[in-house]
Structure 1
Amino acid sequence: MKRAENLVRLEHVQSISTSNINYLVYFSFHRELKKAIKCYAKGRLLDIGCGNKPYEIWCSEFVAEYVGCDIIQSSANKVDVLSPANSIPLESSSFDTVLSTQVIEHVEDHQGLVNEAYRLLRKDGYFILSGPLYWNLHEEPYDFFRFTKYGFNHVLEKAGFEVCEVNANGGAWATLGQVINHTFDFKNPKASKMVRGLKYIFRKLRLFIVVNKLFSYLDVKDYNTINTMNYVVVARKI
């Protein structure tokens, strides 16, 4: 099946408040990603799976050039290089930073993506990578993998990288809260009338805001990343 062109993609990084149904993942994901960009992004940067380049604004003060690569053109026509993530027609050792956010789960050859990042980086360049452990199926049927911290370490070290940081995004309580929000938000016409009624009340009363506040509080009080939603990983080409 051919991938659809001009899919609507995230265009701008906005402040995420508790009124966002995905607050529990985005709060910690954006915090860790922004921190990684600030600490490691430099020089010439390649964004693999760039979409509409939503994080370019965070990188602009740290990098000299921002190049975006994706398998299809984005809805805002932001992709500079159209190619698969495992075979990018760019010169080896030509970038100081490679960024790839929430893309690796959609790439059939995920090791190929990591290997390409290594090839394209100069020595001592950094690869900033993120991907989910818990998330619902999305962009079907192109949703292939979920990665633990050990999975990220394995694919990065196999390519030759030195792993610098692996940061979980949300603990077990935040993950539970996000599952609750997703479960009540998903519409299922086959559900019983009672269940559809409960879901309607949940959405109508915007109870996901209560869930966001309660479970983010519990996550601080009992933080445990044995069950997390996402990871932001930084690796260095040695």
Structure 2
Amino acid sequence: MNLKQTIKKYIFKKNSQPIIVGTLNESTRINWLEEALKKIPAGFKILDAGAGEQQFKEFCKHLQYVSQDFAQYKPENLNSGLQMVKWDYGHLDIISDIASIPREDESFDAVMCTEVFEHIVNPREAIKEFSRLLKSDGYLIITAPFCSLTHFAPYHFYSGFNRFFYEEELEKNGFKTIEIIPNGNYFEYLAQEVNRLPHMAKKYSNKKFNKTQTNGIIKLKALLQNLSDTDSNSSELLCFGYHVIARKK
């Protein structure tokens, strides 16, 4: 299918597929996390490490939920990068450094840590701490970006992590990897950034797209949709991030 045919398929054909390429990063991650948490037996004690606003507490109703965070992020403190409009930690059970959590060894049956690793200076130390806190055969659930823009500044220290980071560090710290799966692919990631273009052009170049430029973006997104639909493993080069499940040996 050439570009002209692609545009016709995704834009002009009546009842054609919508162009959703690059828009499913968060929803895919949340759906995966909900299913992963269902696999943890009812009554198990889970630590939400770097819990933030505790948005996934609702998926842990069958578990004994304990939240932890360093509780220092305030979006109004720095006007740099992508920031939240407002932020509310709510009630946290533990306020501490993620690499030094004041609980005894083997205190938890499971630990989840979602979209946190890029915001801590020493993620290796966090994995070591999770190993200390988990009981034998305990569950570890991690998500983090493979590539990300500056966000939650000044607490943004890494753009992301490849699957090889998890394979190396989990093994070192006594974990058996059960699942490492990519979220999205090369074309999905490019489309995510194309979707940001009008906002970025206005903010950083003080430019507003005209009709021709907007149509150009639509055509590019149609092409990326087609390429993503026919993708075969481009995630090995680039993706939104990785979803990881491991068990402590």
TM (norm. structure 1) is 0.78
Q: Aligned residue for 2:230? A: 221
Which shifted more, 224-233 or 80-89? Answer: 224-233
Q: Aligned residue for 1:7? A: none
Shift of 1:219: 2.3
Shift of 1:39: 2.1
SS of the equivalent of 2:24 reads helix
Whole-Å separation in 2 of the counterparts to 1:20 and 1:48: 32
Q: Mapping of 1:2-81 within 5 angstroms?
A: 23-40=23-40, 43-61=44-62, 63=63, 65-72=64-71, 75-81=88-94
SS of the equivalent of 1:157 reads helix
Q: Aligned residue for 2:183? A: 169
Q: Aligned residue for 2:170? A: 156
Q: How many residues align?
A: 212
Q: Aligned residue for 2:142? A: 129
Is there any run of 5+ residues in structure 2 with no aligned partner, and where?
1-17, 73-86
SS of the equivalent of 2:208 reads helix
Partners of 2:21 and 2:191 within 8 A in 1: no
Partners of 1:170 and 1:230 within 8 A in 2: yes
Is there any run of 5+ residues in structure 1 with no aligned partner, and where?
1-17
Whole-Å separation in 1 of the counterparts to 2:211 and 2:156: 31
Partners of 1:21 and 1:181 within 8 A in 2: no
Whole-Å separation in 2 of the counterparts to 1:220 and 1:90: 47
Structure 1 residues 24 and 94, CA, compared in 2 at 3 Å: closer, same or farther?
Answer: same
Q: Aligned residue for 1:90? A: 103
Q: Aligned residue for 2:242? A: 231
Whole-Å separation in 2 of the counterparts to 1:51 and 1:20: 28
Shift of 1:172: 1.6
Shift of 1:234: 0.7
Whole-Å separation in 1 of the counterparts to 2:32 and 2:58: 16
Shift of 1:59: 2.0
Structure 1 residues 220 and 58, CA, compared in 2 at 3 Å: closer, same or farther?
Answer: farther
Which shifted more, 37-46 or 172-181? Answer: 37-46
Structure 1 residues 214 and 96, CA, compared in 2 at 3 Å: closer, same or farther?
Answer: farther
Partners of 2:29 and 2:183 within 8 A in 1: yes
Amino acid of the residue matched to residue 184 of structure 1?
P
Query: Identity, % of aligned pairs?
Result: 29
Structure 1 residues 184 and 110, CA, compared in 2 at 3 Å: closer, same or farther?
Answer: same
Whole-Å separation in 2 of the counterparts to 1:35 and 1:133: 21
Whole-Å separation in 1 of the counterparts to 2:203 and 2:128: 43
Which shifted more, 180-189 or 23-32? Answer: 180-189
Partners of 1:24 and 1:216 within 8 A in 2: no
Aligned pair partner of 1:118 in 126, 131, 151: 131
Whole-Å separation in 2 of the counterparts to 1:28 and 1:104: 19
Amino acid of the residue matched to residue 248 of structure 2?
K
Report Cα offsets for 1:181-220 as digits up to 9, x if no partner: 13332255552x5xx121x869x99x78x94x87556423
